[in-house]
């Protein structure tokens, strides 16, 4: 019996699909919501939970978008990208990665997120396994589950630089393995796979010809200390016909809101992904596509300047957090995240008598006591850690670190 609502009408009990039981809302979005609620209640909260650059989209890219609107580029485009953008992407892959893709091997979607989702929906059958090294970007396991697959989580410990080892990969592969998902530099750890590490993984994959590789290279351009970037299809060309190389303009070009992501891969897969996109969202925004052409074809000198700012912030946070008893942080190679361990505060007691038993308890304590919003490691599949994004001002970061230090100092 459905209880009536206040007006006396029966409340319709929406019968959600069974697949909704397999997915949960993004944890990073969840922490942002808590922070916003506390803010609305008048609390001063420093948000370190959001994963986007605090820089503006460069002017030449914004200008290209305005020109596209004035030139009437405001209509539907080809479903998976305009010919101009596909050409710019093919040029980018050739120029920056040494990868050769024809335009029939390139797809454009509404963010890298949609591209990853399309690829999984196009290929994963019920019961297929997808190897997801942990800590992982929050959306991979849930996307796999939505597609009917089973995420096989393989922890890459901090002592191994948070990277998947060749032995662990070999042990995780079964006849049902459909994909391995790689993400370098990584969200949440900032760890990047050097070419030698990819070489070792490629050797394992060559022994297992049924396994495909989805490599999420979204943070390619945000690397520190002159670390070179490597991607698996370039390291081992014999894997290229079963690799989907995913990238996008969100992070490098500070274009998160424009929603353009893309991938290069085998034509059969690319065509299937376009079919899914054509029956769901159709083309990404025509104006954003024109802007992305300007981004990929345009100058990239601003990247070095921005990376220098990110690196200074990274170093500030590392210095501060590594000097707080109970916390410890590995130096990230890229992206704009730190993933410190909070093992040293687990089991300690808050001033209100509650014991911190998990990294979620610690993240809750930080937002409640210190007014600093971070994301617990459990959201990324590895505990006890937490993620902070340092894509915010130096003043904010210094204040956040001071507050975290003070909050840790109050633990019994």
Q: Are 408 and 326 in contact (CB under 8 A)?
A: yes
Cα of 355 vs its chain's centroid, Å: 31
- Reduced to 3 states (helix: H, G, I; strand: E, B; else coil), residue 406 is helix
From the list 137, 162, 193, 362, which residue makes contact with ligand PLP (rule: CB under 6 A)?
A: 137
Contact window for ligand PLP (CB under 6 A) among 18-26, 248-256, 283-291, 371-379: 248-256
- Give CA–CA dist 282/128, Å, rounded: 27
Q: How far is the CB of 27 from ligand PLP (least distance, A)?
A: 12
Q: Does 261 contact ligand PLP by CB under 6 A?
A: yes
DSSP secondary structure letter of residue 377? G
> Of 276 and 408, which CB lies nearer to ligand PLP in the complex structure?
276
> Of 77 and 250, which CB lies nearer to ligand PLP in the complex structure?
250
Q: From residue 218 to residue 237, what is the string marking binding to ligand PLP with x (rule CB under 6 A)?
A: x-------------------
Name the residue with the smallest CB distance to ligand PLP. 111
Q: Does 256 contact ligand PLP by CB under 6 A?
A: yes
Task: Copy the structure tokens of residue 118.
Answer: 């399309």
- Give CA–CA dist 308/297, Å, rounded: 22
> Of 51 and 135, which CB lies nearer to ligand PLP in the complex structure?
51
- Reduced to 3 states (helix: H, G, I; strand: E, B; else coil), residue 326 is coil
Q: Does 289 contact ligand PLP by CB under 6 A?
A: no
> Of 248 and 376, which CB lies nearer to ligand PLP in the complex structure?
248
> Of 51 and 381, which CB lies nearer to ligand PLP in the complex structure?
51
DSSP notation for 243-256? EEEEEESTTTTT-G
Q: Are 80 and 274 in contact (CB under 8 A)?
A: yes
Q: How far is the CB of 325 from ligand PLP (least distance, A)?
A: 30
- Give CA–CA dist 382/359, Å, rounded: 10
Neighbours of 341 (CB within 10 A): 21
Q: Does 187 contact ligand PLP by CB under 6 A?
A: yes
Q: Does 389 contact ligand PLP by CB under 6 A?
A: no
Q: From residue 50 to residue 69, what is the string marking binding to ligand PLP with x (rule CB under 6 A)?
A: -x------------------
- Give CA–CA dist 92/402, Å, rounded: 42
Q: Does 183 contact ligand PLP by CB under 6 A?
A: yes
Q: Does 133 contact ligand PLP by CB under 6 A?
A: no
Interacting residues of 350 by C-beta distance below 8 A, sequence separation 6+: 356, 365, 369, 410, 411, 412
Q: How far is the CB of 113 from ligand PLP (least distance, A)?
A: 3
- CA-closest candidate to residue 221, choices 317, 123, 135, 296: 296
Q: Does 248 contact ligand PLP by CB under 6 A?
A: yes
- Give CA–CA dist 163/192, Å, rounded: 8
Task: Copy the structure tokens of residue 125.
Answer: 């059958």
- HSE on the CB side for 266, CA within 13 Å? 16
Q: From residue 104 to residue 123, what is the string marking binding to ligand PLP with x (rule CB under 6 A)?
A: -------xxx----------
Q: From residue 349 to residue 388, what is the string marking binding to ligand PLP with x (rule CB under 6 A)?
A: ----------------------------------------
Q: Where along the sequence are the contacts to ligand PLP (CB under 6 A)?
A: 51, 111-113, 137, 183, 187, 216, 218, 248, 250, 256, 261
């Amino acid at each position: 019996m459905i209880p009536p609502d206040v007006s006396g009408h029966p409340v319709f009990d929406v019968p959600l699909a069974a697949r909704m039981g397999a997915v949960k809302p993004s944890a990073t979005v969840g922490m942002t919501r808590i922070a916003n609620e506390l803010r609305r209640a008048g609390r001063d909260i420093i948000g370190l939970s959001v994963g986007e650059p605090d820089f503006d989209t460069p002017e030449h890219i914004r200008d290209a978008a305005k020109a596209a609107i004035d030139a009437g580029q405001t209509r539907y485009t080809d479903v998976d990208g305009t010919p101009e953008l596909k050409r710019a992407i093919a040029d980018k892959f050739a120029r920056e990665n040494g990868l050769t893709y024809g335009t029939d091997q390139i797809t454009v979607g509404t963010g890298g997120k949609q591209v990853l989702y399309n690829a999984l929906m196009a290929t994963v059958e019920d019961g297929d396994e997808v190897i997801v090294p942990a800590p992982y970007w929050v959306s991979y396991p849930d996307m796999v589950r939505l597609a009917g697959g089973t995420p096989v989580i393989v922890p890459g410990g901090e002592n191994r630089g948070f990277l998947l080892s060749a032995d662990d990969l070999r042990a995780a592969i079964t006849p049902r393995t459909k994909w391995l998902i790689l993400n370098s530099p990584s969200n949440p750890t900032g760890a990047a796979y050097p070419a030698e590490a990819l070489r070792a993984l490629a050797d394992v994959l060559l022994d297992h010809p049924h396994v495909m590789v989805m490599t999420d290279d979204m943070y390619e351009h945000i690397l520190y200390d002159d670390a070179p970037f490597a991607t698996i299809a370039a390291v081992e060309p014999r894997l290229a016909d079963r690799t989907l190389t995913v990238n996008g303009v969100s992070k490098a070009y500070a274009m998160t809101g424009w929603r353009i992501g893309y991938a290069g891969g085998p034509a059969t897969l690319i065509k299937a992904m376009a079919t899914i996109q054509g029956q769901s969202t159709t083309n990404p925004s025509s104006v954003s596509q024109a802007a992305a052409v300007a981004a990929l074809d345009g100058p990239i000198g601003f990247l070095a300047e921005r990376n220098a700012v990110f690196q200074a912030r990274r170093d500030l946070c590392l210095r501060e957090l590594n000097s707080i008893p109970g916390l410890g942080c590995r130096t990230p190679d890229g992206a704009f995240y730190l993933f410190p361990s909070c093992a040293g505060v687990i089991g300690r007691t808050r001033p209100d008598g509650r014991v911190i038993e998990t990294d979620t308890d610690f993240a809750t304590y930080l937002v409640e006591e210190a007014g600093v919003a971070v994301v617990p490691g459990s959201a990324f599949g590895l505990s006890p850690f937490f993620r902070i994004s340092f894509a915010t001002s130096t003043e904010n970061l210094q204040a956040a670190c001071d507050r975290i230090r003070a909050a840790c100092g109050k633990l019994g």
